[in-house]
C-alpha cells in the first residue's frame, strides 16, 4: 500500500515494489478476465450458429410435411430433435410430427411425440398445447377416455382452462358420467373468452346434457 505522506521518490519506490510483488497476479487476473470474455463470446457465437442450424433444419422438415412426404418428414424431424433437443425448434418439430403421425393413422407415434414435448424443457404454453393434443389423441383416436382424463389432471391450466374443461367433459360423456360432463362443460363456458372463438358447440353440448340430467 502506498503511503500518501511519503516523498515522491519514496512513493515511486513503493509502487515499484508493489508491482514487483503483485504484478504477476495482476497480469494473471487480466488474462483470466480476457479469457472469460472471449469464452462468453465464443459460446454466444456457438449458440447463434446452433439456432441457425436448427431453424434451417426445421424449415426442411416443415416443407416435407407440407408436401405430404411423411416418412421424410419423420426421418428429418427425428434427426433435428436428436441434434438440437434443447432448441425451441425441436419442440415445434415434435408437435408437427405428431400431426404427421395422426394423418398417417399412427396415433401411438403421435403419443410418443407429444409425450416428448411434455418431458422436455419446452415453455409452459407449448406443454399445454401438447397435453391437450395428447388427451384428444387418447380420447378420439385410441378410445382411452380414462387415459385422457389422467392427462388432463393438472392444477395450473392458465389461459387454456376452458379447453381443458371442455375436453374433460367430452371424456366424461364417453365414460358415461353425464353429471361430471355437465359440470365440466359449465366450467368451460364460465372460463371461455373471445380469443377461443365461438362457443356455440360447447353450448350445444351443455344443453343436451342439461336435458338428459333433468
This prediction has a pTM of 0.74
Model confidence at 208, pLDDT cuts 50, 70, 90, reads confident
Q: How far apart are CA 18 and CA 100, in angstroms?
A: 71
The pLDDT value recorded for residue 19 is 56
- pLDDT tens sequence across 108-120: 999 999 999 999 9
Concatenate the DSSP letters of all residues of 13-40 into one string.
Answer: HHHHHHHHHHHHHHHHHHHHHHHHHHHH
Q: Which residue has the higher pLDDT, 88 or 172?
A: 172
SS (H, E, C) 137-167: HHHHHCCCHHHHHHHCCCCCCHHHHHHHHHH
Please tell me the distance from the alpha carbon of residue 187 to that of residue 169, in angstroms, as a whole number: 9
Quote the CA–CA distance of 186 and 174 in Å, as a whole number: 17
Higher-pLDDT residue of 92 and 53 is 92
Predicted confidence at residue 2, as pLDDT, reads: 43
- pLDDT score recorded for residue 111: 97
Cα radius of gyration rounded to whole Å, the chain: 30
Largest CA distance in the chain: 104
1-34 pLDDT tens trace: 444 445 666 666 665 665 566 655 555 555 555 5
The segment with the largest mean pLDDT, out of 52-61, 86-95, 111-120, is: 111-120
Percent pLDDT > 70 in the chain is 73
Q: Which residue has the higher pLDDT, 183 or 38?
A: 183
Q: Kindly report the number of other CB atoms within 10 A of residue 133's CB atom.
A: 20
Amino acid at each position: 500500500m502506498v503511503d500518501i505522506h511519503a516523498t515522491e521518490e519514496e512513493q515511486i519506490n513503493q509502487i515499484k515494489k508493489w508491482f514487483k510483488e503483485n504484478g504477476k497476479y495482476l497480469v494473471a487476473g487480466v488474462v483470466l478476465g480476457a479469457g472469460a470474455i472471449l469464452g462468453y463470446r465464443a459460446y454466444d457465437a456457438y449458440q447463434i450458429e446452433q439456432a441457425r442450424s436448427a431453424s434451417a433444419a426445421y424449415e426442411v422438415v416443415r416443407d416435407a410435411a407440407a408436401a405430404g412426404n411423411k416418412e421424410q418428414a419423420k426421418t428429418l424431424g427425428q434427426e433435428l430433435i436428436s441434434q438440437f433437443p434443447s432448441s425451441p425448434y425441436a419442440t415445434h418439430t415434435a408437435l408437427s410430427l405428431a400431426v404427421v403421425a395422426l394423418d398417417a393413422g399412427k396415433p401411438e407415434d403421435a403419443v410418443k411425440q407429444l409425450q416428448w414435448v411434455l418431458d422436455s424443457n419446452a415453455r409452459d404454453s407449448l406443454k399445454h398445447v401438447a397435453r391437450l393434443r395428447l388427451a384428444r389423441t387418447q380420447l378420439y383416436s385410441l378410445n382411452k377416455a380414462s387415459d385422457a382424463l389422467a392427462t388432463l389432471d393438472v392444477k395450473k391450466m392458465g389461459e387454456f382452462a376452458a379447453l381443458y374443461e371442455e375436453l374433460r367433459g367430452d371424456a366424461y360423456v364417453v365414460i358415461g358420467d353425464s353429471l361430471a360432463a355437465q359440470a365440466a362443460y359449465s366450467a368451460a363456458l364460465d372460463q371461455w373468452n373471445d380469443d377461443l372463438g365461438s362457443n356455440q358447440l360447447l353450448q350445444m353440448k351443455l344443453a343436451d346434457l342439461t336435458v338428459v340430467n333433468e
